[in-house]
Amino acid sequence: MDRSEKEQLVSSLRQGLTESTLVIVAHQTGLTVTEVSDLRRQMREAGAQYKVAKNTLARLAVAGTPNESVTSLLSGPTALAYSKDPVAAAKVSIKFANDNEKFKVIGGVLDGKILTSKEIETLSKLPSLDELRAKIIAIISTPATRVAGIMQAPAGQLARVFSAYGNKA
């Protein structure tokens, strides 16, 4: 990898890490290409990204960003998972780590605060932003649905009464 490729990698990684709320550091030793491709696909589907980068390049990428404190976790064969949604990357990383012994979550950073692997596991159990939005919409729309049902009930009852009288005659 020449200097210009490294600069391009650092700039794209910096952009992704700057926009992210959550950054997870994981050790991945011995993963096959198929396993890594599967993990990347799962991350993309969840709205997260997964990058394997040398620790020196990752340190350069996070320097001066809100997630700069992640540098203390960068040692060994590391990979970075990050997302704007504070739960998406955690859910996929923990699920993949539970299914694969070669992938281990070391820690992470959430809005500048360092998290342990246990805290990331707890975070992964929370509902995602999309799930929370769906629940809020359901809560808000339920009363309106009930009101509409109540408003229609008297008209339906009158129609049934008129129908019953019509059938008698």
Task: Provide the domain limits for residue 155.
Answer: 127-169
**91 shares its domain with 14:** yes
Which of 11, 82, 12, 99 has its CA nearest to residue 47? 82
pLDDT of residue 42: 92
Which of 119, 42, 118, 114 has its CA nearest to residue 81? 42
**11 shares its domain with 51:** yes
pLDDT band for position 117 (cuts 50, 70, 90)? confident
**91 shares its domain with 134:** no
pLDDT of residue 151: 67
Number of domains in the chain: 2
pLDDT of residue 38: 92
**49 shares its domain with 131:** no
Task: Say what the alpha-carbon torsion angle 14, 105, 71, 56 is, to the nearest 10 degrees.
Answer: -70
pLDDT of residue 53: 83
**87 shares its domain with 18:** yes
**122 shares its domain with 140:** no
pLDDT of residue 149: 67
Residue 111's CATH number: 3.30.70.1730
Rounded (10°) angle between helices 55-62 and 3-19: 50
Residues 43-82: pLDDT tens digits? Answer: 999 888 898 888 888 888 888 888 888 888 888 888 899 8
User: How far is the C-alpha of 76 from the C-alpha of 40, rounded, in Å?
Assistant: 20
Residues 140-164: pLDDT tens digits? Answer: 777 766 666 666 667 667 677 777 7
pLDDT of residue 8: 81
